[in-house]
């Protein structure tokens, strides 16, 4: 019988040394790999650009390589942001982007980091410094604009179209913010819409194909179909026929004056500028995201099923949708009156047919 022999075959089982032992160079390479993983998961270019900047600012504020960051460092950075008056949502974004990067290092780079720098990765974000997912403009604190307030704002925008120095941008803004309100879209979702995403023959009202819906739990984009309710189909038909041809030719639906996509920051700034022109008190002003919450609340108040609103907004769970809904102070009384009126109508109908 032939003698059995063992043979060593070169492989990658043993972690290889990192290409550099300079911690900052190694961290920069890790950031590049982290960003490449976003692209592999299908994140949109706009999302990637925004998150890269956020991650770089978070790491710069921490002032040390991610594997050396302590809970006290997180406390310091978040505390400094609070002292500077940064919004709760901004502080939460700093913590979340760092936490995601740290998870990536644990999954992909832990062995290399321990071999090169002698550090074992333990996430410094804990129950004491992890921000609650409640923004400073949460529906728990600030109610969305009322239907009457939204109507007044859109009336102002319609009047402005007739007198604006540039018809195209004024008319585009009107169609854009009507879309945010009636379809309940996020600013970034609206900015990534293209002209073929408007399907006027789909369903009884037509639908928007939101191809880059925000994913939950880093799952990547979640596409959804959103009906064009409350006359949104008429607004978008008018926009595509009369307004969009005044901008450079490109696939983008709500294009800027060069034909490119509007950044979500630009959308926020445009809304702020328009409300300053409107001249209403600061307390009556609202954000693009408040229009999304208003869409959820107003549809709920008029009897639309909560699950339908969840599907419309693209939420992962109904509980997320419930955080968006803040009915008016007379919601209970209004619902009671509708119920009583409906019951009386049924009884009256039975009496007349008896």
Does position 292 have pLDDT exceeding 60, yes or no? Answer: yes
- Residue % of the chain over a pLDDT of 90: 55
pLDDT band at 334 (very low <50, low <70, confident <90, very high): low
Helix 306-313 vs helix 288-301: crossing angle, to nearest 10? 160
pLDDT at residue 331, as a whole number = 61
Top pLDDT among 232 and 15 is at 232
Find the mean pLDDT for residues 70-98: 88
Spatial separation of the C-alpha atoms in residues 289 and 296, rounded to whole Å: 11
- Say what the pLDDT of residue 185 is: 95
Tens-digit pLDDT profile for residues 135-153: 444 444 578 899 999 999 9
The pTM (predicted TM-score) of the whole model is: 0.61
| pLDDT score at 12 | 45
β-strands 198-199, 224-227 pairing: unpaired
Tell me the three state secondary structure of residue 199.
strand
How far is it, in rounded angstroms, from Cα 151 to Cα 101?
43
The pair of structure tokens assigned to 167 is 């018809």
Residue keyed to tokens 């936490």: 99
Q: Is the pLDDT higher at 216 or at 204?
A: 204
The pLDDT value recorded for residue 213 is: 82
Q: What is the mean pLDDT of residues 50-59?
A: 90
Q: Which of 12-26, 90-104, 223-237 has the lowest mean pLDDT?
A: 12-26
Fold adopted by 23-117: DNA polymerase; domain 1 (1.10.150)
What separation in angstroms does the CA of 68 have from each of 76, 105, 116, 257? Answer: 14, 12, 13, 46
Q: What percent of the chain has pLDDT over 70?
A: 83
pLDDT at 297: 92
At 263 the pLDDT is 86
- H or E element that contains 224: strand 224-227
Q: Which class for 298: exposed (0-12), middle (13-18), buried (19 or more C-beta within 10 A)?
A: buried
Whether the pLDDT of residue 21 is over 90: the answer is no
Q: 214 or 134, which is more confident? A: 214
Mode of pairing for the β-strands spanning 207-210 and 198-199 = antiparallel
Q: What is the mean pLDDT of residues 273-291?
A: 91
Given a cut of 90, is residue 335 above it in pLDDT?
no
Q: Is residue 62 within 8 Å of 69, Cβ to Cβ?
A: yes
Mean pLDDT of 308-323: 88
Domain ranges in the chain are 23-117, 154-340
Q: Where are the beta strands (DSSP E) in 149-200?
A: 198-199
**179, 188, 163: which is closest to 47 by C-alpha?**
188
* Most confident stretch, 118-122, 194-198, 210-214, 331-335: 194-198
The pLDDT score that the predictor gives to residue 5 is 61
Nearest partner of 176 among 199, 165, 200, 192, judged by Cα? 192
Domain 154-340 classification at class level: mainly alpha
């Amino acid at each position: 019988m032939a003698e059995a022999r063992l043979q060593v075959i070169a492989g990658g089982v043993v972690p290889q040394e990192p290409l550099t032992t300079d911690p900052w160079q190694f961290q920069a390479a890790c950031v590049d790999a982290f960003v490449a993983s976003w692209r592999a998961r299908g994140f949109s270019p706009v999302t990637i650009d925004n998150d890269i900047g956020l991650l770089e600012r978070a790491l710069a504020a921490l002032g040390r390589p991610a594997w050396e960051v302590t809970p006290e460092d997180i406390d310091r950075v978040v505390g400094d942001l609070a002292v500077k008056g940064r919004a709760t949502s901004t502080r939460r974004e700093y913590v979340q982007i760092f936490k995601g990067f740290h998870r990536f290092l644990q999954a992909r780079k832990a062995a290399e980091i321990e071999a090169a720098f002698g550090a074992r990765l333990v996430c410094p974000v804990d129950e004491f410094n992890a921000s609650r997912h409640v923004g400073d403009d949460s529906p728990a604190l600030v109610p969305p604009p009322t239907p009457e307030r939204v109507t007044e704002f859109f009336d102002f925008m319609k009047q402005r179209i007739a007198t604006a120095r540039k018809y195209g941008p004024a008319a585009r803004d009107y169609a854009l913010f009507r879309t945010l309100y009636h379809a309940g879209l996020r600013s970034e979702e609206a900015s990534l819409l293209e002209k073929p995403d408007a399907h006027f023959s789909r369903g009884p009202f037509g639908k928007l194909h939101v191809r880059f819906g925000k994913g939950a739990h880093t799952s990547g984009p979640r596409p959804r179909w959103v009906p064009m309710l409350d006359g949104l189909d008429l607004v978008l038909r008018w926009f595509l026929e009369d307004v969009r041809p005044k901008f450079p030719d490109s696939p983008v639906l709500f294009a800027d004056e060069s034909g490119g996509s509007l950044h979500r920051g630009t959308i926020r700034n445009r809304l702020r500028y328009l409300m300053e022109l409107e001249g209403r008190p600061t307390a009556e002003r609202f954000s693009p995201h408040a229009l999304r919450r208003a869409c959820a609340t107003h549809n709920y108040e008029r009897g639309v099923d909560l699950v339908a609103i969840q599907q419309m907004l693209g939420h992962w769970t109904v509980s997320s949708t419930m955080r968006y809904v803040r009915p008016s102070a007379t919601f209970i009384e209004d619902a009671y009156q509708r119920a009583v009126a409906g019951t009386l109508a049924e009884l009256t109908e039975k009496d007349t047919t008896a």
